[in-house]
């Protein structure tokens, strides 16, 4: 864990500085991200047009290995972020929502630490976007889960925080118009095509399925593109293949909260591009 009780002094000043930092980072991201990723978006569009989710990482990175190719800038200042907290390892941006935030992973002592703590390690209702230790920080697992809160609609000051605006994908028109999210890593950006958004039960997905078995993984992938939920939106023509596809599922509470259910927005990796 990056913070100890001795680190928790001057909280008001630190929060003020962080608030200014996040505003600056989000402005830079919104202005630069899609421009920097023009080539990657084109690759993603080609992959989705074919009706399949996958794009081999080696193919996506081939152009960047050409000495004449100039790598695009990474709009995320990971050095500054990790100086604040070394648990920051990625950044997620979901166009059309308020999800534009760092992603953290804590120590084995409390892998759900960021469910109830902010980036400073202070207790927080909002928490952070985070993953558990079962998932690689390189997003190389066949199924990666990212977690974030949803607050009730009547909580006006909190309803758009964390993963709250993922519920925009419950609207069929919004789902149709927004088909991509991005995950930034130091030196790399990953583009995901959103294949489905649906209500699911509250089981721990990674613990409940043995994704090391191809048949189990394929069965789960088949469900992801054709869930039996009554609350769902699915992108037509998308398929997932256990041998080559990797997905990220954004997991949050339902709205209104049903306690025994979760809302999942799932994207499949369609482009992987190196950055400076």
Closest of 143, 215, 197, 266 to residue 131, by C-alpha: 143
Q: How far apart are CA 272 and CA 178, in angstroms?
A: 19
pLDDT of residue 125: 87
pLDDT of residue 159: 63
pLDDT of residue 149: 79
Q: Which residues of 250-262 are buried (b: 16+ CB within 10 A; e: fewer)?
A: bbbbbbeeeeeeb
pLDDT of residue 152: 64
Residues of the chain with pLDDT under 50: 1-24, 27-28, 30-50, 56-64
Element (H, E) at 40: helix 38-49
Domain parsing of the chain, residue ranges: 5-274
The class that CATH gives domain 5-274 is: mainly beta
**DSSP bridge partners of 248:** 144, 267
Contact by Cβ (8 Å): 262, 232? no
């Amino acid at each position: 864990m990056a913070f100890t009780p001795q680190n928790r002094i001057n909280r008001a000043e630190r929060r003020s500085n962080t608030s200014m930092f996040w505003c600056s980072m989000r402005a830079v991201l919104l202005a630069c991200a899609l421009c920097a990723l023009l080539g990657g978006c084109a690759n993603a569009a080609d992959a989705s047009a074919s009706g399949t989710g996958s794009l081999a990482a080696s193919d996506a990175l081939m152009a960047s290995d050409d000495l004449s190719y100039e790598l695009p800038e990474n709009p995320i200042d990971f050095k500054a972020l990790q100086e604040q907290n070394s648990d920051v390892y990625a950044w997620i941006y979901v166009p059309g929502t308020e999800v534009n935030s760092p992603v953290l992973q804590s120590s084995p002592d409390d892998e759900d630490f960021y469910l109830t703590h902010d980036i400073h390690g202070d207790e927080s209702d909002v928490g952070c976007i985070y993953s558990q230790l079962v998932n690689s920080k390189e997003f190389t697992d066949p199924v990666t889960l990212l977690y974030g809160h949803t607050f009730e609609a009547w909580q006006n000051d909190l309803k758009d925080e964390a993963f709250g605006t993922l519920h925009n994908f419950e609207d069929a028109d919004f789902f149709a118009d927004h088909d991509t999210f991005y995950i930034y890593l130091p030196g790399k950006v990953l583009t995901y095509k959103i294949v489905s958004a649906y209500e699911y039960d509250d089981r721990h997905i990674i613990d409940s399925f043995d994704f090391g078995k191809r048949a189990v993984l394929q069965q789960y992938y088949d469900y992801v593109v054709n869930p039996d939920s009554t609350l769902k939106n699915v992108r037509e023509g998308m398929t997932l293949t256990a041998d080559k596809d990797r997905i990220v599922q954004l997991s949050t509470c339902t709205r209104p909260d049903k306690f025994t259910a979760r809302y999942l927005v799932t994207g499949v990796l369609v482009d992987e591009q190196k950055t400076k």
